[in-house]
Structure 1
Amino acid sequence: MTLLTDIASLDAIATLADSLPVADERAAAAATARQASLTKPPGALGRLEDLAIFLASWQGTDRPVITRAQALVFAGNHGVCDQGVNPFPQEVTAQMVANFETGGAAINQLCRVAGADLSTVALDLDRPTGDITLTAAMSDEDTLRQMRRGAEAVAADAQVLILGEMGIGNSTVAAALSCAAFGGDAAGWVGRGTGSDEAGLARKVDAVRRAVARHAGVRGAAMLAALGGREQAAICGAVLAARAMRIPVILDGFICTAATAPLFDADPRLLDHCLVGHVSREPGHARLLDALGKTPVLALDMALGEGSGAALALGILRAALACHNGMSTFAEAGVAGG
């Protein structure tokens, strides 16, 4: 994927929307017409109809298919853990990556059921990012490098891309990115993550407040360098690469969605091809979805990460296409009323 190879600065990310593919309105209109001809009352399949039309608009055909779904889980470690924001040590990130690679995690089971090819990309786990309460998480150069790594991981033959993450401390990073992008007090964005107690929650809120204040005024993709992490940068790179290849993206929960907030801040159009698989139990996620104007596919009271909610949403997309492509029209079925 060459989209980001010529990008020399994070500020240039904001210029990409003008040159990236957009939804195919003709294909969407044709898919909408097909929905109207199927043997059901108009609108009876609700959101399933909308999802089929959405996929049609990005595949450029009134009969979209998913023959290959790719799932990518990016993993990184965070210097803000020095502030006591997580009850688990950062060694858990590498241990969970090993669990993904041997098939033992929830995401492995959900991808198998949903029919998605899963890969894990570990991003310099022995080198945590800078502590965002004291300094920038990454240099601009490192941020762009991680974005390119994310972009290069996207398979050109996929019809849909599932994105997930793993990283001890990254719910604090997600809250900081959300707070920086959309404002409000840090407490409204911070949740318990992997199980922080009251004292741990207070440390998270304090860390987010200090980090956002330290990097006040940073906007757009530069927020990734200031407040993000390597997995957040890789997620953004994958999102942009998928857009260049007209591949719809299913984002996972709070952390994965928050990773894309810098892209939205740079230009909201950069997320037009993205769905959000579910609304997380983390309290900031529903607020974040409102700010992004995104409606989640599912609401199952989950807060695991890993891409788990996005993988479940893939099953809904497959169901939407099964109905869209497999149902008879009124004329084909000889049913009156079409």
Structure 2
Amino acid sequence: MYTAAVTREEIQAKIDSKTKPLGALGALERLALRIASVQGTLSPELVNPHIIVFAASHGIASQGVSAYPSEVTPQMVLNFMGGGAAINVFTRQHGINLLLVDAGVDYDFGKNEKLIDAKVNFGTKNFLKQPAMTAAECRRCLEKGAELVRHVRETGCNVIGFGEMGIGNTSAASMTMSRLLEIPVSECVGKGTGLNDVQLLQKIAVLTDASEYHKNEPNDPESVLATFGGFEIAMMCGAMAEAAKLGMLVLVDGFIASVSYLCAFKMDASIGHNAVFCHQSDEKGHRLLLQWLQADPLLKLDMRLGEGTGCALAYPLLQSAVSFLNEMASFESAGVSRNTENQN
């Protein structure tokens, strides 16, 4: 799609030539450099942006690890389909295409053009007692996520974000993070959908028991996903990895999405070249995970909703980064004198 590859140094020189003090646009300059580097051009563009929301049910939810019952997952999917959720509002506001995917919800939605049926099973198993999914189910999730992104790429899309919905998925994400980074479960677990202090302690106890139960399982990303993950988490991982391979900008949402990204990163660290971290969630483990990834998120709004909402809210910043790089005058074109201390 892009005809001329350019170096990071050439892109940085173009940024520095704009009519502003060096570095004066701060994070927008770093964002412009990232976008232009991914696209290999001095004139980047954002084409047909998409956000895919993956939904799935979790067996661990039966252990009381969430403030909401499992039936909220299909109810929220129906809300997405009806256009009433936060992600619907924000994608409409910013002109982003929204795709909804049933990765494994414990509900029969029937045929509906507003929902992509990629159901692997009717929810994962309770990982307190057995692995969440089989190795074959996990592999199917990864492959299906990649397949969905290939279809999106065929529309010309070059920037894609990912969201999720699944009661219990902060538990699945916390366990996955804990095992992959080899840090205590208690450091990864937060209040999720809004647990009180007593419920949080119960959640930590359940997940600590689950960690002990599976202590001898392998800790490679695919095995960890099969042991603790959700269908939506694994499918998102496959989707992110494929988007990076296809040269797309990968917008990473909050805690759950960042854990999916962590799995993809552990499989192939080159995904880091394509990733834009959209916001720092209010979920406890997210800050720690972002630090480990050395990621600098664009927003910090104390959100903990998921759904890809952070991607949608951050997208206008990508537009601004592209716009200033393409449209802002240079010192030479505007006839403005440079800071003489920065002249060669």
Query: Normalising by the residue count of structure 2, what TM-score does the alignment of the two structures yield?
Result: 0.88
Report the counterpart of residue 140 of structure 1 in structure 2.
135
Deviations 1:33-62 (A, max 9, x none): 111111111111111011111011111111
Q: Corresponding residue for 1:265?
A: 266
Residues paired across the two proteins, number: 315
- For residues 39-50 of structure 1, the aligned pairs below 5 Å read 39-50=19-30
Counterpart-to-counterpart distance in 2, 1:80 and 1:25: 47
Partners of 2:11 and 2:134 in 1: CA distance? 45
The Cα shift of 1:247 comes to 0.3
Give the unaligned 5+ runs of structure 1: 1-23
Paired with 1:240 and 1:259, the residues of 2 have a C-alpha distance of 10
Which residue matches 2:69? Answer: 89
The one-letter amino acid of 1:81's match is A
Contact 2:138/2:222 (<8 A) preserved: no
1:195 and 2:173 correspond = no
Question: Which residue number in structure 2 is paired with residue 129 of structure 1?
Answer: 124
Other-structure match for 1:150: 145
1:185 correspondence with 2:184: yes
Contact 1:86 1:194 in 2 (8 A): yes
Between the aligned partners of 2:68 and 2:93, the Cα distance in structure 1 is: 30
- Distance change in 2, residues 1:43/1:299 (3 Å): same
What letter corresponds to residue 176 of structure 1 in structure 2? M
1:187 Cα deviation (Å)?
1.7
Q: Map Cα deviations across residues 218-243 of structure 1 (whole Å, 9 max, x no partner).
A: 22222111110100111111111101
Give the equivalent residue in structure 2 for 1:20: none
- Which residue of 2 is the match for residue 327 of structure 1? 328
Distance apart, 1:82 and its partner CA: 1.7
Does residue 11 of structure 2 align to residue 31 of structure 1?
yes
| CA distance 1:150–1:267, shift in 2 (3 Å) | closer
After TM superposition, the score normalised by the length of structure 1 is 0.89
* Percent of matched pairs sharing the same residue: 38
Q: Which runs of 4+ in 1 moved over 6 A?
A: none
Q: Does structure 2 conserve the Cα–Cα contact (< 8 Å) formed by 1:27 and 1:56?
A: no
**Which residue in the other structure is 2:111 paired with?**
none
Using the alignment, how far apart are the partners of 2:204 and 2:182 within structure 1? 14
CA contact 1:83–1:203 (8 Å) conserved in 2 = no
- Distance in 1 separating the partners of 2:305 and 2:67: 15
For 1:105 and 1:335, the matched residues in 2 are separated by 48
Looking at structure 1, the residues matched to 199 and 73 of structure 2 have their Cα atoms a distance apart, in angstroms, of: 19
Correspondence for 2:342: none
Gaps of 5+ in 2: 107-121, 340-344
Pairs within 5 Å for 1:1-338: 26-126=6-106, 127-154=122-149, 155-156=152-153, 157-216=156-215, 217-337=218-338
Matched residue type, 2:62: D
Question: Contact 2:238–2:264 (CA<8 Å) still a contact in 1?
Answer: no
For residues 212 and 25 of structure 1, what CA distance do their matches in structure 2 show? 46
